[in-house]
Structures are given as C-alpha cells and as structure tokens.
Amino acid sequence: MQITRRETMALGAAAAAVTVLPMPAMASAVDDAINEFTGGADVADGGVELDAPEIAENGNTVPIEVSAEGAEAIMVLAAGNPTPGVATFNFGPLAGAQRAKTRIRLAGTQDVVAVAKMSDGSFAKVSKTVKVTIGGCGG
C-alpha cells in the first residue's frame, strides 16, 4: 500500500482520467472499429475464445489468447484504452490453427473484446472484463 508521492499523483491522475473520460465517446471508438472490421454486418455473440486473466497481475503486460476455429481474422480491442485498437491477426488458408497469443497494455479495469471474421463471411464476438487493481491487501 506504500506509494510514493510521485506514484500517488500519477495513479490519482490515471484514476481521474478514467472517470472523467466521456464513456459514449469511448464506446463509439470501439463500435467504429468493429464496424470498420465487419463492414456493418451482424455480429453473433460467442464462437470466439478469449483467454485473459480476471485480474491483471501487471496492467502493463497482460497475457491474452484468442482463437476461433475457421476464422480468417481475429481483431482484438481494449475497450477502455485511449486508443482501443490492439491487433488484428490474419490467418491464411494454410494456417494450422486459428489461434494467437500476445501481451497487451491496459490503462485500467476494462473489457477486452475479440471479434472474429469467419471463412463463411459471418462475424463472432466475445468480451471479458480484466480488472486492473492497485492491490496489496489480500490475505
């Protein structure tokens, strides 16, 4: 729980930024990105696997894994980051598995979203809340 003054101010600023940022603006950035990826097509819930920790051990490097059988591409968004776009993984016809693993940086507690483009042209989506906490009082 010990935090230096400098860290305190930085954390306080981060917390303030999270609360002050207008949520509709953020939501629309995510919606825009999804629309751009899908071309406005309907997106079904489920059909994509997203493995992410419930609580991040370190918000600066959060391991995630996405997979969707038969996907041509999977887009990953960090819905609460100032810039939500994380990556889009493209899988060619010779890909042995449609799976990708990486580490991402999360500005605070937020939903991580994965949208898959299937080979039949349909889209699927899943999201998971990853909590970023200051921690320190468990026992």
Partner 1 sequence: MISRRDFLQVSMAASALYGASGFGNWAKLAAQQALTQDQLLEFDTFGNVSLIHITDIHAQMKPVYFREPEINIGVGSNKGEVPHVTGAEFRKLYGIEDGSPSHYALTYNDFSSLAKEYGRVGGLDRVATVVNSIRAARPDALLLDGGDTWHGSYTCYHTEGQDMVNVMNALKPDAMTFHWEFTLGQDRVREIVEGLPFDALGQNIFDAMWDEPAAEFKPYEFYERGGVKIAVIGQAFPYMPIANPGWMFPDYSFGIRDANMQKMVDEVRSQGAELVVCLSHNGFDVDKKMAGVVSGIDVILSGHTHDALPEPVLVDDTIIIASGSNGKFVSRVDLDVRDGKMMGFRHKLIPIFSDVIEPDADMTALIDEQRAPYLAELDEVIGTTDSLLYRRGNFNGSWDDLICDALLSERDAEIAMSPGVRWGPSLIPGDDITRDDIWNVTSMSYGEAYRSEMTGEFIKVILEDVADNIFNPDPYYQQGGDMVRIGGMGYSIDISKPQGERISDMTLLSTGEAIDPARNYVVAGWASVNEGTEGPQIWDVVESHIRKQGTISLEPNTSVKVSGT
Among residues 25, 94, 97, 137, the one that binds partner 1 under rule CB under 8 A? 137
Partners of 117 in the β-ladder: 73, 123
Among residues 8, 28, 35, 90, the one that binds partner 1 under rule CB under 8 A? 8
40: its two tokens: 């406005």
Q: Is 53 in the site for partner 1 (CB under 8 A)?
A: yes
Which helix (H) or strand (E) segment holds residue 10: the answer is helix 5-20
Amino acid letter for position 7? E
Judged by beta carbon, residue 95 or residue 101, the one nearer partner 1 is: 101
Spatial contact of 26 and 80, defined as CB atoms under 8 Å apart: yes
* Neighbouring residues of 100: CB distance < 8 A, sequence distance ≥ 6: 65, 66, 67, 74, 87, 89
Q: Is 135 in the site for partner 1 (CB under 8 A)?
A: yes
Judged by beta carbon, residue 94 or residue 137, the one nearer partner 1 is: 137
> Which range touches partner 1 (CB under 8 A), out of 35-43, 57-65, 85-93, 113-121?
57-65
Q: Is 15 in the site for partner 1 (CB under 8 A)?
A: yes
DSSP 8-state symbol, 113: E
The footprint of partner 1 (CB under 8 A) covers 1-5, 7-8, 11-12, 15-16, 19, 51, 53-58, 63, 101, 109, 129, 131, 133-139
